[in-house]
Structure 1
Amino acid sequence: MNEIRRQILRGLAASPALALSLNPGQLFAQAAAELKISHQFPGGTLTEGDFRDRLCRKFSAELAKRSNGALKGTVYPGSSLMKTNAQFSSMRKGALDMSLVPLSYAGGEVPETNLGLMPGIVTSYEKAVAWKKAEVGKALANILADKGVFVVSWIWQAGGVASRTKPIVEPEDAKGLKVRGGSREMDMVLKAAGSAVLTLPSNEIYAAMQTGALDAAMTSSTSLISFRLEEVAKALTTGRGKTYWFMFEPLLISRAVFERLPKAQQDLVMTIGAEMEQFALDAAKADDQQVVSVYQKAGGKAYDLSDATVKKWQAIARETAWKDFAGKNESCARMLKLAEQAL
């Protein structure tokens, strides 16, 4: 028995209460650290299912592999760990380790995050990817850090529309329909187009459309597939090629949790997170194409957008959502200017 072990045992003998509070494994070996990763999307495997779930699983597997088991991630899909809308707030408090979540869901707490689903502000994957190194992306990352959350992976997805009745292609098509926009800013555009809006997370769209409470929903191509919306909606407006809105749906980590990790593990989290971005980009583009075949196979029809149509939606957004966002506070006004510079 080495001297360090003798000293530990002598100390425990002198403090029976401490000895009883520890199990034998804690005396001589530190347990592997675990990061709990929550998201709202359907669960799958490393190779099958919603790419956002697969990304979390790939991220977790790489963590365990490269840390030799010292750091691992456990994925909780389908809001099984906590409710969807509680995730961002919980990360800020350190009560949740990580989440892959649409950033606009945090708009009630941090108004600047609504820029993550601002209609008309991002119109291509190329522009979306450029945000990470652009001034707008740096500013957004700094705001999130100040609020207690770090961006691990920058993930963007094109948006489409599923409708139970007529397709929503032109702004006038939305008139009189009950539509889920996905963000306060998108709701403003829809209202200007004559829609009634319904606010709910994407994992609740199916039930709302099934009951008739909702006529149409705007969400990512991946969600249009994963939540099986082709079963309740037969008209699809795709996000392939051209669209007037993109969704920022990053993998995030609680700052409090991150800062408790050793420096080497912090570096590992960020390195692997950055590596996941190419996988996310390729998967999002693939889903933009796949969603068309999914809906057509189910008997639905798919519609694409023209440049002229995109500009119509963008014009409405400028006069409604953009003005409202900029008027919230100086920080939002500054963020919008930076975003416009990246157009």
Structure 2
Amino acid sequence: MTPTLTLRRALVCLPLVSLLALTACGSGGGGGAEDAVTLRLSHQWPDVGVDGDGDHRALIAQRFAEEVSERSDGSIEVQVYPNASLVKATEQYSAMTNGSVDASVFPLSYAAGHVPAFDITLMPGLIRNHEQAEAWGTSTIGESVEEITEEHGVKILIWMWGSGIFATKGDPIVTPDDIRPGMVMRGAGGATEEVLEAAGAGITSLPSNEIYSALQTGVLDGVSTSPSSTISFNLQEQIDSYTASTENSFWFIANPLIISNESWDKLSPEQQDIVQSVSEELQPEAYAMASEDETEATAVLKESGVEVVEMDDAAFEQWQELSKETAWKSFAERVEDGQRLLDEAQSAGD
């Protein structure tokens, strides 16, 4: 058993929480006479396996559900809906703001059509490694993003980040010049698509859980996605080459665990304290497990016979320069306070 799997199995040692309807509780254990609340947590990632293995985003969601239920003595029950089984991947933000979903592990950039500033959380060429990404949690840019989310109906509980790789049929993509004429790609978000299009790619937009079938049917020639999604959705079965993000990443994406403001306000102060405490304790694990997924993805791809290459500093700088000329420029022009957000992001960790 690998150390990664051992860690993950240790993290997910309890059964799934019971599914309860939203109800009032007249009496009980540590929850006292507080109203019992069910939170519906939806995400697009495959469910955790029976052996406790899986995508770190699904694992954190389940661990959150279990810990919150245990510590509240059942006054808060979290019902987890994986694999977009409750709501389509791209519609989870709308579902949260209209009250049909309470919480989600959600790529904020998926909702950039509603809140354009969310594109800062998937801006190509902006973050190159996990250290820079994690610095957002204690920097001005993180505070700004949290303020923006709360202004638009949701609250960040746990920051989660994923690096960006290229997975392609045919030769690997390392620099912008490696985009072949006529190549159709998926770019993970509007800003990324803008950069890939500038490099010469045709674009097809779709969420992570639809990539496999698009590669299988020839709709896509390549994708930019995360290492976690690469192995969670078994993309090694459909690709020839993989540009790992160990040294440099084309982009980083924020996939935080979020809760709607309305659902947060339904919790009592004591219940809010429990949720906040669990979230703070899970935060370091969320960071560590993302890095582990990155390492595991490279191993799985190599074992599957996929050509694995790295993006060196020179190649990253080419992507960064192209990103500044395209996605960064348009973001600063079209988004209120866009340049300020870019400046804050570049200063994260200073």
Quote the residue 1:165 is aligned against. 170
Q: 2 CA distance for matches of 1:26 and 1:132? A: 36
Q: 2 CA distance for matches of 1:274 and 1:160? A: 28
Q: 2 CA distance for matches of 1:62 and 1:305? A: 38
- TM-score, with structure 1 as normaliser: 0.90
Counterpart of 1:152, as a letter, is: L
**Alignment RMSD:** 1.6
- Does residue 325 of the first structure (1) align with residue 336 of the second (2)? no
Cα 1:32–1:217, aligned 2, differ >3 Å: closer, same or farther?
same
Quote the residue 1:12 is aligned against. none
Cα 1:309–1:219, aligned 2, differ >3 Å: closer, same or farther?
same
Q: 1 CA distance for matches of 2:277 and 2:337? A: 29
Counterpart of 2:343, as a letter, is: K
Q: 2 CA distance for matches of 1:258 and 1:196? A: 41
> Which of 323, 333, 347 is the aligned partner of 1:341?
347
Alpha carbons 1:111, 1:332 under 8 Å: kept:
no
Cα 1:260–1:298, aligned 2, differ >3 Å: closer, same or farther?
same
- TM-score, with structure 2 as normaliser: 0.88
Q: 2 CA distance for matches of 1:283 and 1:269? A: 20
Aligned to 1:42, the other structure's residue is in SS state coil
Quote the residue 2:16 is aligned against. none
- Does residue 252 of the first structure (1) align with residue 267 of the second (2)? no
Counterpart of 1:284, as a letter, is: A
Q: 1 CA distance for matches of 2:81 and 2:238? A: 26
1:47-101 Cα distance to aligned partner (Å, 9 max, x none): 2111111111100110011111111211100000111111011212332100001
CA drift at 1:33: 1.4
CA drift at 1:283: 1.2
Aligned to 1:44, the other structure's residue is in SS state coil
CA drift at 1:26: 5.9
Q: 2 CA distance for matches of 1:28 and 1:107? A: 42
Matches within 5 A, 1:187-226: 187-226=193-232
CA drift at 1:244: 2.5
Counterpart of 2:275, as a letter, is: V
Quote the residue 1:183 is aligned against. 189
What's the % identity of the aligned pairs? 37
Q: 2 CA distance for matches of 1:266 and 1:117? A: 29
CA drift at 1:175: 3.1
Alpha carbons 1:127, 1:342 under 8 Å: kept:
yes
> Which of 105, 120, 124 is the aligned partner of 2:125?
120
Alpha carbons 2:87, 2:95 under 8 Å: kept:
no
Alpha carbons 1:158, 1:220 under 8 Å: kept:
yes
Quote the residue 2:66 is aligned against. 61
> Which of 71, 75, 86 is the aligned partner of 2:76?
71
Alpha carbons 1:104, 1:117 under 8 Å: kept:
yes
Count of equivalent residues: 319
Aligned to 1:96, the other structure's residue is in SS state coil
Quote the residue 2:116 is aligned against. 111
> Which of 17, 34, 40 is the aligned partner of 2:38?
34
Q: Greater CA deviation, 237-246 or 221-230?
A: 237-246
Counterpart of 1:327, as a letter, is: E
Aligned to 2:101, the other structure's residue is in SS state coil
Counterpart of 1:132, as a letter, is: G
- Does residue 102 of the first structure (1) align with residue 107 of the second (2)? yes
> Which of 92, 96, 101 is the aligned partner of 1:91?
96
Aligned to 2:156, the other structure's residue is in SS state strand
Q: 1 CA distance for matches of 2:321 and 2:243? A: 19
Quote the residue 1:129 is aligned against. 134
1:202-226 Cα distance to aligned partner (Å, 9 max, x none): 0000000000010001111100000
Could you say which structure has the higher helix fraction?
Answer: 1
